[in-house]
Homo-oligomer: A and B are copies of this chain.
């Protein structure tokens, strides 16, 4: 079931039913522009990750700000992006299984579609699907640059896999996927840079080994919101896959910049709006947003502009607000904005974005409602 949206355009912001996923459109648009400005002149292209927003509407806005396309993780996400008007999609992930591979290959009839591999057998399976669908698929070799998840070892193993791709008639070797996911959230700038320097070094070496075999990398892709300036300056990476910058969650806000200050390049633009639905004691209130409304894998949501209230003890449909007494206590029916700990899995819990203009001002109102089109796009 898809629920009806919790608000309609024109409503005052406090008429939004809750829990709701609210975009501060003003902050969101500033984030769009700041990333475009940050990437301009670096020589690298921006291919933002749609796993953050799961929305072709947002992806098209990023493209209007200079992005060359989108990344995603699942074939179903790629389908939704292409059907929503995005014509250049990289599945920055391995795809295993004939049903999925046939869908992926079929999609390459409608848009430029690329996919990653890290296994020799998988190359043959991707090639077979491309042949069945009579398309030529762009294929990247994913290398493990330190994250310890997917990816073949850099250097010779990656080169051998690239050669297998280049030899497959239905495939085109398109480059390297070299994302260091676990580096994104290293708080200290120097430690974060050391991790990315390592990723850059093994990626550079692999690119050079490939070049020695006559294999050019159109795409050398990686980077997230926590490190994109480092990969952009590397001279090796050609595409930056940052996604979270568009919304900026509580976890990324814990990163530090080179000067030790907080990572404030981007603003919080995404909130879970909740309502106080119980206020049983002077030190405790309860809001209607718990695990079903906000993900906790990267820490609990944080209250926004409500000093003295701390979100604690989430259960499926509830969150407890600890009240420290320093401010007016929340009352039944009060609307509370929560900054999600992690945007991507939080967005996946909602069917609709409620776009608010003028959030924080007296005439804050709902300007637009966008579907989270790739919510639940699991396979």
Contact = CB atoms under 8 A, between A and B. Distances in A.
Contacts of A212: none
A51 interface: yes
A15 to B, nearest CB: 8
When all copies of this chain in the complex are counted, the total is 2
Interface in A289-340: 291-293, 295-297, 313-318, 320, 332-333
Contact of A378 (B93, B276, B293, B344): B293
B313 A149 contact: yes
A318 B149 contact: yes
A151 interface: yes
A280 B118 contact: yes
A17 interface: yes
Contacts of A368: none
Contacts of A297: 291, 296, 314
A150 B379 contact: no
Interface stretch (A73-81, A230-238, A253-261): A73-81
Interface in A88-143: 93-97, 99-100, 118-119, 121-122
A376 B2 contact: yes
Interface stretch (A167-175, A202-210, A345-353, A356-364): A345-353
A39 interface: no
Given A316-B51, A379-B6, A121 B277 contact: no
A286 interface: yes
Interface-central residue, A6, A17, A344, by most chain B CB under 10 Å = A17
Contacts of A313: 148-149
A286 B181 CA distance: 15
Interface residues of A, number: 71
A371 interface: yes
Contacts of A144: 280
A288 interface: yes
Contact of A278 (B119, B288, B295, B372): B119
A373 interface: yes
Contacts of A95: 277
A14 to B, nearest CB: 10
A275 B96 CA distance: 8
A46 interface: no
A162 to B, nearest CB: 16
A153 B165 CA distance: 68
A2 B373 CA distance: 9
A76 B3 contact: yes
Contact of A379 (B18, B100, B333): B18
Ordered nearest first, which 6 A-B pairs have the shortest CB separation?
Answer: A150-B278, A96-B277, A291-B345, A73-B317, A17-B379, A94-B277
